[in-house]
Amino acid sequence: MADYDEVIRVLQHQHIELPSWAFGNSGTRFKVFAQPGVPRDPFEKIADAGQVHKYTGVAPSVALHIPWDKVDDYGKLRAYADEQGVALGTINANVFQDDDYKLGSVTNPDPQVRRKALDHLFECIDVMDETGSRDLKLWFSDGTNYPGQDSIRARQDRLAEALQATYDRLGTHQRLILEYKLFEPAFYTMDVPDWGTSYAHCLQLGERAKVCVDTGHHAPGTNIEFIVAFLLRAGKLGSFDFNSRFYADDDLIVGAADPFQLFRILHEVSTAGGLAPDTDIAFMLDQCHNIEPKIPGQIRSVMNVQAATAKALLVDIQALTVAQQAGDVLGANAVLMDAYDTDVRPLLAELRRGQGLDPNPMAAYARSGYAEQILAERVDGQQAGWGA
Ligand code: PSV
Ligand code: MN
């Protein structure tokens, strides 16, 4: 069994980043269900994120999505976040919600559209300079629907060109994080469909370009922990977008569909030293709470990542190595399963008490009255949403 105090120490430093868009209205392409009390602007999203951190103690930053979180004064937003006990984190670019991008953004055959998309990426870097963000996360919806629609190779050239221009524009303390997605919205080819494509572009760009693994962006049955292990070994794992999927890009609560997979992923991160307090891996959530209340949904998500992390840290690495080297297949598997089967709830309760928190964050939030307060206060105005 791993050293208990050491496990607690590592968990005290855990940092899970929340997505601002998880607090706004969301849905599917069939229906967005509005929820009462939802934030009406980025400030209210930050306030809600602050609640998640207040009760979990391990979610001290919020990722922003531009233009969903566009404000006139990012210095003011940053100061407000500080008051709410959180920091502004990763900046997510959005080049997928404009009519001009029907045939793609940075890979569009039209140079004027490509220019417009690149200007948005530059704008995001300007935002980062004001928010103090380290990471620019890029996800491109670019791709084609029909064979022959466009040249696959030419689109890769256009992509490489835009990525290079963006990378060159970043400050030396900033990183470019390239996310991939198997399919959707394009169905025949996506221009960044998989980790290999993202990795190859990042390799070309340089040290500060890394891959984002969104756990929902793979074909069913994909061994995500293999991808994670490979990228960690290559020093190219920049961040996670955690969520759960049953079928496609479902964006459900992380660990809800397959907590064992989450454990296996975090075991790979743990054995590569990626959970150390000085880790440069960003552990983000990328979720939408379409039918469940959003703040408790985020609290549950954070707790799920925390529980899987605790189990990953409990793996007896020494015993595992001995069994692996002896070719003891069942012994090695048993070491892993022992950790996974451990009930970590008492350990996490102890961790929270040590941090001055209620051992039950869900119950503490429910008792706080915040949900009733925002319901009463947020009655007028336009609710925030992802605008799909
Ligand atoms: C795309 O499906 C994605 O995973 C990207 O990370 C976007 O920025 C995010 O979802 C928006 O919801
Ligand atoms: Mn994502």
Over the stretch 312-360, which tens digit does the pLDDT of each residue have?
999 999 999 999 999 999 999 999 999 999 999 999 999 999 999 999 9
Ligand 1 atom closest to the Cα of residue 93 is 8
In this structure, which ligand is nearest to the CA of 94? Answer: 1
Is 181 touching ligand 1 by the criterion CB < 6 Å?
yes
Of 300, 283, 335, the closest CA to residue 314 belongs to 335
Look at residue 22 and tell me whether its pLDDT is greater than 90.
yes
Output the average pLDDT for the chain.
Answer: 97
The pLDDT of residue 387? 65
The pLDDT of residue 1? 54
Q: How far is the CA of 65 from the centre of ligand 1 (A)?
A: 9
Per-state percent for the chain, helix, strand, coil, to nearest 5 = 45, 15, 40
Contact 103, 150 (CB under 8 A): yes
Counting Cα atoms < 13 Å in the Cβ hemisphere of 299 gives 23
Ligand 1 atom closest to the Cα of residue 386 is 12
Q: How far apart are CA 226 and CA 213, in angstroms?
A: 12
The pLDDT of residue 374? 98
Candidates 241, 288, 294: which one to mutate for ligand 1, based on the most atoms within 8 Å of Cβ?
241
The pLDDT of residue 235? 98
Under the banding of pLDDT at 50, 70 and 90, the label for residue 26 is: very high
Q: How far is the CA of 74 from the centre of ligand 2 (A)?
A: 23
Residue with tokens 């980025």: 42
Break the chain into its structural domains and give their ranges: 4-377
Is 142 touching ligand 1 by the criterion CB < 6 Å?
no
The pLDDT of residue 210? 99
Segment 256-280 shows an average pLDDT of 97
Please state the pTM of the whole predicted model. Answer: 0.97
Q: How far is the CA of 286 from the centre of ligand 1 (A)?
A: 7
Give the right CATH number for 4-377 from 3.40.640.10, 3.20.20.150, 3.50.50.60, 3.40.50.150. Answer: 3.20.20.150
The pLDDT of residue 388? 54
